[in-house]
Structure 1
Amino acid sequence: MPYITSFETLEQEIEKVPGKPVVLEALWDGDTNGWFLYIDLYTETGRFFWKKTTAVHLGIISMGGDIRLFNGQVPAWPEAVLAKAIGEKAAEKYGLTFYFPSDKEPDDNCPSWTQRHLAINCADCNKLILPTNSPYLPKEICHHCHLEREWNEKIKLNKPYKDGIYGTYRTKDNPDECRDHTIVDYLKTLKALDAAIIIFTHDELIAIKDNVYNEIKQLIANYKPSDLQGESRKFGAFKTLSFEDRDYEIEMKFGHAHWELYSQVYRYRTLEEAVLNGWTYYLHIVKGITDRDDAFLRFVYAVCNGETSIQAINDRYRNILTAAEVLATLENLATLNCINILNQTIHITERGKNIL
């Protein structure tokens, strides 16, 4: 299957197809490695009564698996950026229509070019989606907007994040690589600490790895296959997880227990690598972080590259929080030494980076 990596590679594939190019289509799909884009071309041959439209698969655009969702690379979809750039260039050169219904984030519930008449517009983002009969989703919005509504509600409620104790392991050997290996039971013993950096010995790291292993075994003991059956399965996002010579079907969208098992196995394998390679691990702890604090830090660090303005944050959360709530949150983060505020400009601190 050809990989589309540039306009030149796309052009080469288009030139192989007979007929007049009329539509270039980009649709999301996913497998056990993550999300990618299918690139298809619709061409016309013949004239009048003999006119025929044919769909031809040109290739895929893929720039990384779901590991990006764990290591904090957000926004995580350069596939969309590339597809838009080369699609618009193809539209200009060939006079075709570039059809990319979900150009900001992955969504495998968008209609193909020939299914457009079956689609509705998402009430929040307006993109075309196929009507859902899933018992887990609202009927009028896409899955991404459903999650966005849930997340916005968490920001409004402003509940403590992870029981109010925010801890992240980080390796000394690779400071840019940050993975969340929070062990809840361990963190509960640290509630008296407002802020701390704890260094783990090799033996302690082995003990944590063993604890994660025991959690995995418990999750496996309680594992049940997804209850999505028949037509309803198209609303799920299924992956195959292999652990100790056995495969488990993981339903990623709605199966919370499945996602927990998937996450813990990922954590366990990372800890195995850490123990094997003798990595030095740090646990950065800040007490008093809320869901709203977490959202602000991620916005400043990931979206704004570590620096932004108070006005930009007000704009981002305009329909969710008041200006007073935004300011109070920023002042709390400054008190926790997670950000610095100078002349209406916000900079994330090393502590702020370390806990993300």
Structure 2
Amino acid sequence: MAPLITPADRIFVAGHRGMAGGAICRALARAGYGELLTAPSSTLDLRDATAVENWFAEHRPTVVVLAAAKVGGIHANATYPADFLLDNLKIETQVIENAWRHGARRLLFLGSSCIYPKFAAQPIREEALLTGELEPTNAWYAIAKIAGIKLCEALRRQHGFDAISLMPTNLYGPGDNYHPTNSHVLPALIRRFHEAAERPERGLGTSVSCWGTGTPLREFLHVDDLGEACVFALEHWQPGPEDLQFLNVGTGLDLSIRELAEAVAAATGFAGTIEWDTSKPDGTPKKQLDVSRLAALGWRARIPLAEGLTATVADFRARLASGRRSAGSGRGLTLHPHTL
């Protein structure tokens, strides 16, 4: 079957400066798609209905990838619930509707595994959507992502708009957010273990403390694998009218938080001890996606965690060396699995 997109397409990647959007741009470039359209937030506020409509009317992309979103960890979700819901709903509705109204042939919306119920059967199949209560700590973000999925489905059903969605598991890799309170567990671990390995004179080289028992199981996908999955889906996946309009993306493998911490310690060169504060809660025992549908179409993740961690630590250290310390200090960092 011929690819559903071609190098002649004008592809707009919304959110190209984010971790996921950057990886999608890299994957598209590797696959030979040269005419990529991008618009930094300084020139196009995707929450602004008039600005987005004018941009689409001027540039007329034929393919749209929506990777832009307001994201953050537990602290950010709890502190700014209205912002997470409003900003993400605005971004999704403006981009998706204008892509349809201005003649885009195909659109890919990037969701998140947090759309699924907190107590979904493991591994989580796509059918679990809307079958139970969401995890309260990221419900605002999840509700917005569910709305985006359903908007794509509604436009396909009512207007025949070729919109598809992918739901990635926990991502890591180049361009991640290492903020001490707003980051997810893996970049938080990288920062903490790096500082413990590099600054023993501050007493950080002796031990690193993590919440819980370390037994919860989590799945991690390198962001460049996600980029390849997005290109694959754009080129090859065309669901029928009765098929699910979204697919899970992951590795199909998980590991314990204890194993993850040990792997990060090895990647950063930390030689001290890891202490587990068992007075703190563990969170959901297991969170793993069923990726059998995407595998049946012919795509699987390729980057092993050990290889991906080594590259990610190198990227983090390069960012520190270049002075891009927007993530802030790692002191006082809380490391626990609830940020997944």
TM-score, L = length of structure 2: 0.26
Q: Which has the higher strand share?
A: 1
TM-score, L = length of structure 1: 0.25
Which structure would you say has the larger RCO, counting Cα contacts within 8 Å and 6 or more residues apart?
2
